[in-house]
Amino acid sequence: MRNSSRILGRSCVVLTTPMVLSACKEVTNGASEFKIFSIDEGAEYAAIAARIVPSDESPGASEAGVVFFMDNVLSDGREPEYEILKEGLQNLKSICTERFGVTNFYSLNLSQQDQLLREIEGGEFFETVRYLTIAGMLSLPEYQGNKNNVGFQMLGFENRHAWGAPYGFYDIDYQLESE
């Protein structure tokens, strides 16, 4: 199971960058566009998000369109966070160049990507991308992420307006006692 999920994860990530790039190319056709990200930035953030919430047995950040959520909310009064991302991405690219001889994070293989992310976990850049990735998985689709509610599937959550008893396992056989 674990093996197959890794293979699936890999194939999804291989799809990620072209997916984002093709979405970006639609700009020229007027169908879809980033508000503030460049195509390269979008592809990089999408690649990181796809490692934070990978596509495996259940959909991940790529299917949820998290990068479009990030672009959308960062364009709306979140300049300080966008600055953290831009600066952090420059640093990440420098590391990619120094260590692996490539200019893009998304060009690394998955184990290289994960190794790099483990090194920067806890830092401002990683934590901001993690925050926005998770927020983009689990916000309402109107914010441009959580496409088709796939993020909610990750949690086993259904965005319903009404629930009835029993709510969970432990209240199934519960009887109200006055005292």
CB of 81 to another protein, least distance (A): 11
Which residues contribute to the site for another protein (CB under 8 A)?
5-6, 9, 51-54, 56, 58, 60, 73, 77, 114, 117, 121, 130-131, 134-135, 137-140, 143, 151-152, 154-157, 159-171, 174, 176, 178-179
CB of 30 to another protein, least distance (A): 27
Contact present, 137 and 61 (Cβ < 8 Å): yes
Q: Which is nearer to another protein, 98 or 177 (CB)?
A: 177
Contact present, 135 and 144 (Cβ < 8 Å): no
Residue 19 burial (CB count, 10 A): 19
**DSSP letter for each residue of 57-80:** SS--HHHHTHHHHHHHHHTTT-HH
Q: Which is nearer to another protein, 73 or 92 (CB)?
A: 73
Q: Which is nearer to another protein, 42 or 54 (CB)?
A: 54
